[in-house]
A and B are shown apart, each in its own frame.
Chain A
Amino acid sequence: MPVVLKKSSRWRVLAAHIGLIIFIGLTLFPFLMIISISLRPGNFAGGSLIPHSFSLEHWKLALGMSYADTDGNMVHPPFPVLLWIWNSIKVSLISATVSLVLSITSAYAFARMRFRGKGTLLNGLLLLQMFPSVLALVAIYALFDRIGDYVPWLGVDSHWSLALAYTGGVAQHIWLIKGYFDSVPYELEEAARVDGATPFQAFVYVLLPMALPILVVVFVLAFLGGMIEYPVASVLLHDEQKLTLAIGSRLFLFNQRYLWGDFAATAILAGIPLTLIFMITQRWLVSGLTAGSVKG
């Protein structure tokens, strides 16, 4: 921001570097700690950041393998972590697919068509996406519990139910996709229309291929949303074999059974891919959030 650098600025730059490094050191401390804990033998704290002795036992357990401890006893994985990860992926893929398919055409209509009630509906969607699903937890539980009496695969403890319950993100997705459609010039579709294409053909063959990036981003965001969701899953899933990772990982840290090291390895195993995916896609999410305020 300042155009001319004075001498005092050099000190300021240095101070900023030092301040930032200290701040980053403090905020990243938990991550360094958790890596150290995952490589340390045993499940109890104590010891420095760099472990005195080194052990891969927690990693073996996290990957579903057993190992023999110093007395020769086999230690088995405490929880089916890989199964939980697979459950999470399954639920998130279903919900991301369903919510993307449901929001694409609506976003198209909101971006390109005129119809009665458009403004009201758009505002309504903007309002509704602010309501978190945690407020409707009781209703979600009661509904699926009752549906389950008649359709067992859509009751409590079913991955289908959970995936459907996650579909509420549609309101936000419609806004994100609409914002992108708005930024794509209309001329190409118009040309297609002149050549005799129906609005639907113009949408499928002209606009959609151009909008592929936002579709990927929305899909990934919906997927991540499903992977990290806690409250709804904790209400709908109870069977240990059915849990998603987000609710299963809670079972590691009870006072009676404190599996600190096993948790650390699991956390890193699951955390790294999710973190990377999020780092790559977050730019679009943030630009979608600030779009209304910045661009004007």
Chain B
Amino acid sequence: MKRRSLLHYAIAAVGVLALLAGLALVPVFYKAHQPVFAGGMIVVLGIAVWIYTSARAYAYRYVVPGVLAVIVFIVFPMAYTLGISFTNYSSQHLLSRERATDVLLQKKIAGDASMNLKLFRVGDKYQLFFSSDDEGAPSYTSEPFAFPSGHDEQHVKLQTTTAEGVTGGQIVLLKDMFKLQPSLKQIAAVLPDGTELRQSSLRRFAQSKPAFKLQKDGSLVGTDDGHVLKPNVHTGFFEDAAGKPIEPGFRTTVGWQNYWRVFTDPTFHQPFLRIFTWTVAFASLNTLATFAIGIVLAVLLNWEALEFRGAYRMMLFLPYAVPAFISIPVFKGLFNENLGEINAAINLIFGSRPAWFSDPNLARSMVLLVNTWLGYPYMMILCMGLIKAIPDELYEASALAGAGPITNFFSITLPLILRPIAPLLIASFAFNFNNLTLIALLTSGGPDFLDTQVPAGATDLLVSYTYRIAFQDSGQNYALASAISSIVFLIVATLAVVNLRLFKVNRAS
């Protein structure tokens, strides 16, 4: 009995800790200007407390951890992707509007006051001495201070002085001033009237003031000539009167614009169509090829007259067991046009070196070849399991009727295996449709099309195309990548539903 209570207390303690951690997140979200998340968190915690205290929700106590994980780690990222696809999130529009406004508000322009600096060392501390260009204007000096050790700005107060330097101080020579540059940049010297001076050149400090002031309606007014910058929520930029955008841009909702671009803007539309066609062709050809090889091998390995089947099976399975991140680069090296072993062999026999990575058709064949190599063992194993389930009487009957192995294969094995394997073929199609690892590690999508404006290549799949749009070239357009990802989501969802139907039909029968 003691054991029971310990375990229960331990789990209760974990629950309370999780609750406290969740509660601690609420203010964090709130501070991060995410009131929706803060509210959502409170609702989720409330439901959780109810589930774990109410007897009626007993079964859900067990269900919640897994389902919650699925929601947080699968559903939420999907929904978030969909959300991003309706914005303009990209390297040009990285910041939220608040942050973009802050960046502009922190812009400084030079003010009127500027003074010459002499730096004095007093013991292990320093003293600033400022003199004006105008004759008769007062000079200023500071108390001795130490340079800050961190990266924060340090305010140093100045008083008027009549002396021509600092008594007891030793002037810091120019070459030493260079060394102190980083520290001097952190100093803001404050005149008695509150004006702040910052370093403007090596031995000069100047007044700087914010370039813009924030208006109540969210627009910015220039402090020098009063020109107005208005935030444009359609373009995601602050714009001046002439409509000229001012960096940095901010994130804003743009509606269907990204989808519209994919389907109607020729710049994106044309590569999208080509890549889509290749993606479908690649996934179908690959599924067919691996299935064809897999089923033939499976039939052979289920043939009792054949010896050493265990050894064959193990060696045939090997390509699938070796991690893809290792075998794909191995192929990349073997296929290398100048240094690779495959071309060395072809050169020896045929006297030519095929351009595996620069000819579109050769590159596509290579991708197919490599992926068939990677995938056939999986199909083989699946088919072996399914063939074992076919009753032996069928073959005995057909043997009596005098049928050969080819007839057996086409009239018994294949028809009986097709239905149970259909969902797995669809799953394989969906997997290859999104096989980013293969493309990223083997060709990176190349060879690139020469006639498209956005970078896209002959072996790019839709996922690798979005990967390039989001994380590599062409301006890191996260929103556009999310839009294409969302389209692929739809395709995968369709496949998944069809798959579920087939799976259920199989179960029912």
Contact = CB atoms under 8 A, between A and B. Distances in A.
Nearest to B463: A134
Interface string B59-81: 11111111111100111011011
A74 interface: no
A134 B48 CA distance: 30
A113 B500 contact: no
Interface in A133-178: 133-143, 146, 149-151, 164-165, 167-168, 170-171, 174
A86 to B, nearest CB: 16
Contact of B440 (A114, A131, A231, A296): A231
Interface string A253-296: 10000101001100100110011001100100011011011101
B66 A102 contact: yes
Contacts of A292: 423, 503, 506-507
Given A138-B81, A270-B326, A274-B323, A293 B386 contact: yes
Contacts of A264: 330, 333
Given A28-B318, A282-B381, A170 B69 contact: yes
B395 A1 contact: yes
A141 B509 CA distance: 44
Given A12-B405, A249-B326, A253-B333, A139 B81 contact: yes
Q: Is the interface of A mostly helix, strand, loop or mixed?
A: helix
Given A102-B66, A134-B436, A135-B81, A45 B478 contact: no
Contacts of A201: 4
Contacts of A174: 66, 70
Contacts of A3: 395-396, 399
A263 B434 CA distance: 26
A2 interface: yes
Interface stretch (B182-190, B209-217, B233-241, B339-347): B339-347
A263 B420 CA distance: 41
Interface stretch (B150-158, B162-170, B275-283, B301-309): B301-309
Contacts of A289: 382, 424
Nearest to B338: A45
Contact of A290 (B314, B318, B385): B385
A142 B80 contact: yes
Interface stretch (A56-64, A119-127, A182-190, A214-222): A119-127
B65 A106 contact: yes
Contacts of B495: 130
A121 B67 contact: yes
Given A5-B305, A271-B322, A138 B470 contact: yes
Given A253-B333, A263-B333, A135 B489 contact: yes
A226 to B, nearest CB: 11
Contacts of B7: 204
B18 to A, nearest CB: 12
B69 A102 contact: yes
Band of interface residues on A: 35 or more
A75 B66 CA distance: 50
Contacts of B430: 130, 132
10 contacts: A27-B319, A30-B327, A33-B330, A45-B336, A126-B500, A142-B89, A146-B32, A247-B325, A271-B326, A278-B323
Given A150-B31, A294-B389, 10 more contacts: A9-B305, A20-B300, A27-B318, A30-B334, A103-B69, A127-B500, A132-B434, A230-B437, A278-B323, A287-B385
Interface of B: 4, 7-8, 28, 31-32, 58-70, 73-75, 77-78, 80-81, 84, 89, 297, 300, 302-308, 312, 314-327, 329-334, 336, 339-341, 344, 373, 381-382, 385-386, 389, 392, 395-396, 399, 405, 408, 420-421, 423-424, 427, 430-431, 434, 436-437, 440-441, 463, 466-467, 470-471, 478, 481-482, 485, 488-489, 492-493, 495-497, 499-500, 503, 506-507, 509
Interface of A: 1-5, 9, 12-13, 16-17, 19-20, 23-24, 27-28, 30-31, 33-34, 37, 44-46, 99, 101-103, 105-110, 113-115, 121, 123-128, 130-143, 146, 149-151, 164-165, 167-168, 170-171, 174, 199-201, 203-204, 224, 227-228, 230-231, 234-235, 245-247, 249-250, 252-253, 258, 260, 263-264, 267, 270-271, 274-275, 278-279, 282, 286-287, 289-290, 292-294, 296
Considering the complex of A and B, which 9 residue pairs feature the smallest CB-CB distances, nearest first? A106-B66, A109-B62, A136-B77, A115-B59, A293-B420, A139-B80, A168-B73, A246-B325, A228-B323
